[in-house]
Structure 1
Amino acid sequence: MQQLGILLVFTFGAAFFASLPPGLLNMNAAKTSVEKGKANGVIFGLGVAIMVMLQTYLAVRIARFLMRNPDVIGMLLKIALVVFAVLAVFFFVKAKKLDSQPLEIVASKKRNSFSKGLFLAAINLLTIPFYSGLNTIFHAQGFMDYSVIDEVVFILAAGGGTFLAMYLYAFYFNKMERKTNRFSKNSNYILSVLMIVLMVITSIRLFNQS
């Protein structure tokens, strides 16, 4: 039970913080809320969350397949280490640049909010490798053993964390619009720290394998 709790909290937190920095999905959630009402903004966020859960399911299947090939794990961990390092630098630099860059809502045509959420989330190509890598790290640390309940918790937590971020943008963007640059910068710093933590975990795992 404790393992499931750790898996739930870590996955939910990773999904939430990964969805916080202003981007295509959350800015469209805010725009939909402003143009068509908060209910439509929430429906848009629901579409995003459901697509993220589908992508997370695929990420789990990919990670599970790779785990059956032990010879590949070392190489994957090394690749993950490089990816986390690059992402840590990326989010840190992005946070630094926010002071000089105005934040804009992404323009989009009005259409069914739910299907728009599904579509925009589907074209976000980073979701599958992100959750596949996260899944691999959790398995290596013993948080996940690919039982049905572990997979369900991981998938639902990924969708739940994403939906909470979309919900906050849909309901509170107007109130926090003046503070968005600071909010975004802090979120990017948090993500940068998260990537560093994952780097440390991955490095320890590689050291133990050698």
Structure 2
Amino acid sequence: MNFIIPLFFGFISAFIGIIPPGLINMTAAKVNHKEGKRNALWFIFGAVIIICFQVLFAILFAKIINRRPDLVTLMREIGFGIFATLTIYFLWLAKKPKNKSKKLNNKSKTKRFFLGVLLSALNFFPIPYYVFISITLASFKLFLFDATSIFIFINGVIIGSFLVFYLYISFFNKIEGKADYIMKNMNTIIGSITGLVSTVTLWNIIKYYWY
């Protein structure tokens, strides 16, 4: 049972974090559409490898923070500032993304693998996301910062990430129209999510100092 819990939460965390249309999963879908499933899978392998290291770094960082309640409070305050700034930026300052149809030239599987590595490495959001997830799970006694739990959790993330990417490349033609609509309104979607997170974070900060 102890093995199932970190695997389950790793899988669910990855599934929720990657399911919204983004640069990596949409690129994987377009590679599959233009070049076939083989190149798309190599792209996914490259992206998942980097996600694996990002999750490991995030959990190790969260382990340090979890030992220091004062750091947890400080991270909440920093997080509130970051998410509040992102909310203002995406809702009022950022330009609307243009729906440009980019052509992908037929590349070798090796180049697609390294493209997946590059795009995944440029995406820094998984690190704070998994720091937050692991600390939250640990606070509810659903996750332990031991080697076994970390290893199993990361495997759950790998499985969840690969599944979402595979769903994108398998059903891209069915979701393409909806994905284009979402991409056009991505600033509003991101701004709303960061606004909600910043509100919850602010409430936790106020509750901490109030009590």
Task: Establish whether TM, by shorter chain, passes 0.5.
Answer: yes
TM-score using structure 1 length: 0.73
The aligned residue for residue 118 of structure 1 is 117
State how far apart, in whole Å, the 1-side matches of 2:152 and 2:192 are.
Answer: 25
State how far apart, in whole Å, the 1-side matches of 2:3 and 2:192 are.
Answer: 25
8 A Cα contact 2:59 2:131, kept in partner: yes
CA apart distance, 1:124: 1.3
CA RMSD in angstroms comes to: 3.8
2:99 aligned partner, one-letter code: P
Distance 1:155 1:56, change over 3 A: same
CA apart distance, 1:30: 1.4
The aligned residue for residue 58 of structure 1 is 57
The aligned residue for residue 42 of structure 2 is 43
State how far apart, in whole Å, the 2-side matches of 1:18 and 1:89 are.
Answer: 22
State how far apart, in whole Å, the 2-side matches of 1:56 and 1:205 are.
Answer: 26
State how far apart, in whole Å, the 2-side matches of 1:141 and 1:201 are.
Answer: 17
Q: Structure 1: 5+ residue runs without aligned partners?
A: none
Partner deviation per Cα, 1:119-162 (whole Å, 9 max, x = no partner) = 22112122222212222222222221202222122212222222
8 A Cα contact 2:35 2:106, kept in partner: no
Q: Is 1:163 equivalent to 2:162 in the alignment?
A: yes
- Larger radius of gyration, structure 1 or 2? 2
Partner deviation per Cα, 1:182-209 (whole Å, 9 max, x = no partner) = 67679x9699679848965895597468
Q: Is 1:102 equivalent to 2:99 in the alignment?
A: yes
8 A Cα contact 1:84 1:199, kept in partner: no
State how far apart, in whole Å, the 2-side matches of 1:87 and 1:12 are.
Answer: 27
Aligned residues: 206
The aligned residue for residue 147 of structure 1 is 146
State how far apart, in whole Å, the 1-side matches of 2:199 and 2:156 are.
Answer: 22
Q: Structure 2: 5+ residue runs without aligned partners?
A: none
Distance 1:91 1:8, change over 3 A: farther
1:141 aligned partner, one-letter code: F
